[in-house]
Amino acid sequence: MSTPSPADETRWAPVFLVPAMVASMLVDLALYQYVQRTSGPLGPAAGLTLSLLVDACLPFLGRFPRTVALVACAATALAAAGDTLAPGTFTPAEPATPVTAPLCTPLVVWRLAALPRRTMLAYVTVLAVFAVRPWVPDWVTVYAGLTATVLPAVLGLYIRARRALLRSLRERAESAERERRLLAEQAESAQRERHLLAERAKADERQRLAGEMHDIVTHHVTEIVLAAGALKVSAPDHAVRSAAEHIRDVGARTLSELRDLFRVLRRDQPPEPAQVMLLGSDLEALVDGAVAAGNPATLRVTGRPEAVSPAVARAAQRVLQEALTNARKHAPGARVEVEVAYDGHTMTVTIGNTPPVAASELAGSGSGMGLDGLRRRVTLLGGAFTAAPDADGGFRVAAAFPAPGSASGSACR
């Protein structure tokens, strides 16, 4: 619960002070009507006039507390001096109440607690002296005077000190909450900075690995390609020349794939084109490699070929390459059918082989991670991948990639 500030008290003071003025005037009029009439030289209504004057100043107590306090002090001093010099001037000889100060004095003193401490003490001291009248000692007057002046001042100081304490505690709590939020934001910023540093370290490591790959792997593969080319030229035997040509072609394709990987790892490479065509010559080269290895293979393309992203083209070639390699390893001599189908929304690459003709010595040499890697690669590109034996004892691999275009039937080779 919030505590009212001094500005709020000043703004809302008239709402309470006007009813207080009316109530004080009604009490003074009632006392005058029945018992509170003076008998001094100024007439029976002298005390009532003085009290009503102070009551009339109450609505201005919120904005002008010092002025109203001066009026109250002057009225109390005038009443004390008049009654001292001529008893009964402002207070009846036998008053109905022991309070000699105006009835609204406690309210004036209460409001004075909002003033600076010394100013408030000065006003309260003046009011207390003239209300107590120490030069005419009377316990009833002393008690009534202190109750009307000192007691409201003490209560006002206590309540306002309590409000100030609560306000200070609330401000401290809000400051602590702001500091906690600031620390949380700083911690989050530090976490983001650490994440960026980690990403930068990963990028630097990727650059280093790319450099080593380029310097070491491609160098050796290039040597293999050159050696195979030289062997093809110099070998007198046709079978040796054919094997050398096959090694050279495989090495050249390996260099192409390594360049693709190198482009992915090196961010400073030139950007790839938005879309490329999946060339039939590349697919035919892979199929011809399977034929040369002893697996009769056919390639069929249905639909109208459409441009795809470079990542999809590389993934499709990788699926075909891995499936043909698995067919050579696990089903030597089996017939392989390759189909690339475009239907306007997807490009599907399907590789199926018949049951193996003979037992394979390389069936258990693989790591078993090739198909899992293809599945993850195709899934990341938004496609679907399946690899499972078929009902005839063969094996079927299919990868569907998102591709633009519209389907139309055509066939080649």
What does the pLDDT read at residue 374? Answer: 86
Instruction: Confirm whether 179 is domain-assigned.
Output: no
Tell me, what's the pLDDT at 361? 58
Pairwise CA distance, residues 252 & 228, whole Å: 11
Q: Which among 207, 311, 361 has a CA at the least distance from the CA of 269? A: 207
Q: How far is CA 6 from the centre of its chain?
A: 37
| pLDDT band of 263, cuts 50, 70, 90 | low
**pLDDT on residue 145:** 83
- Give the number of other Cβ atoms within 10 Å of residue 362's Cβ: 11
pLDDT per residue over 98-131, tens digit each?
677 888 888 888 888 888 888 888 988 988 888 8
Structure tokens at 274: 């938005």
Residue 352 has what pLDDT? 93
Predicted confidence band at 27 (pLDDT cuts at 50, 70, 90)? confident
**Res 395: pLDDT:** 92
For the chain, give the mean pLDDT. Answer: 80
pLDDT band at 351 (very low <50, low <70, confident <90, very high): very high
Give the confidence band of 1 by pLDDT, cuts at 50, 70, 90: very low
Asked whether residue 249 falls in the same domain as residue 314, the answer is: no
Domain count, the chain: 3
- Nearest residue to 355 (alpha-carbon basis) of 338, 322, 388, 330: 330
152 with 11, same domain: the answer is: yes
Please check whether residues 343 and 228 belong to one and the same domain.
no
Find the mean pLDDT for residues 311-340.
Answer: 87
Residue 410 pLDDT: 38
End-to-end CA distance of the chain: 86
d(CA 245, CA 231): 9
pLDDT tens for each residue of 41-99: 787 888 888 888 888 888 888 888 889 889 988 888 888 887 777 777 777 766 666 67
CB atoms within 10 A of CB 268: 7
Question: Does the structure show a pLDDT above 70 at 3?
Answer: no
- Tell me if 95 sits within 8 A of 36, measured CB to CB: yes
What is the pLDDT at residue 318? 87
Domain with 211 in it: 201-265
Q: Are residues 356 and 331 in the same domain?
A: yes
With respect to residue 209, please indicate whether it lies within any of the assigned structural domains.
yes
Q: Which residues contact 338 (CB under 8 A, 6 or more apart)?
A: 283, 287, 297, 298, 299, 300, 320, 324, 349, 350, 351
Q: Starting at the edge strand that comes first in sequence, how are the strands of the sheet with 336-342 ordered?
A: 297-302, 336-342, 346-353, 395-402, 384-389
- For residues 107, 109, 113, 117, the Cα torsion angle rounded to the nearest 10 degrees is 170
Q: What is the pTM (predicted TM-score) of this model?
A: 0.43
Distance CA 254, CA 262 (A): 12
What is the pLDDT, as a whole number, of residue 93?
66
Specify if 75 maps to a domain: yes
pLDDT of residue 261: 63
The answer to whether position 195 is within a domain reads: no
89 and 210 in a common domain = no
In the prediction, which pLDDT does 179 show? 93
> Which segments of 57-104 does DSSP mark as H helices, in order?
65-85
Q: How buried is 342 (Cβ within 10 angstroms: 0-12 exposed, 13-18 middle, 19+ buried)? A: buried
- Is residue 324 assigned to a domain? yes
DSSP secondary structure letter of residue 60 = G
Q: Of 265, 292, 318, which closes a domain? A: 265
Residue 189 lies inside a defined structural domain of this protein: no
Q: How confident is the model at residue 321 (pLDDT cuts 50, 70, 90)?
A: confident
Look at residues 239, 265, 291 and tell me which one is the last residue of a structural domain: 265
| Residue 411 counted as domain residue | no
Percentage with pLDDT > 70 across the chain: 83
- pLDDT tens track for 268-296: 555 555 577 777 777 888 888 888 878 88
Residue 294 and residue 169 share a domain: no
**CATH number of the domain within which 372 lies:** 3.30.565.10
Residue 409 above 50 pLDDT?
Answer: no
Question: pLDDT tens digit string along 143-192?
Answer: 888 888 889 888 988 888 898 899 999 999 999 999 999 999 999 999 99
Gap between the Cα atoms of 258 and 273, Å rounded: 18
Q: Which of these three, 265, 300, 315, is where a domain ends?
A: 265
CA distance 342 to 377: 20
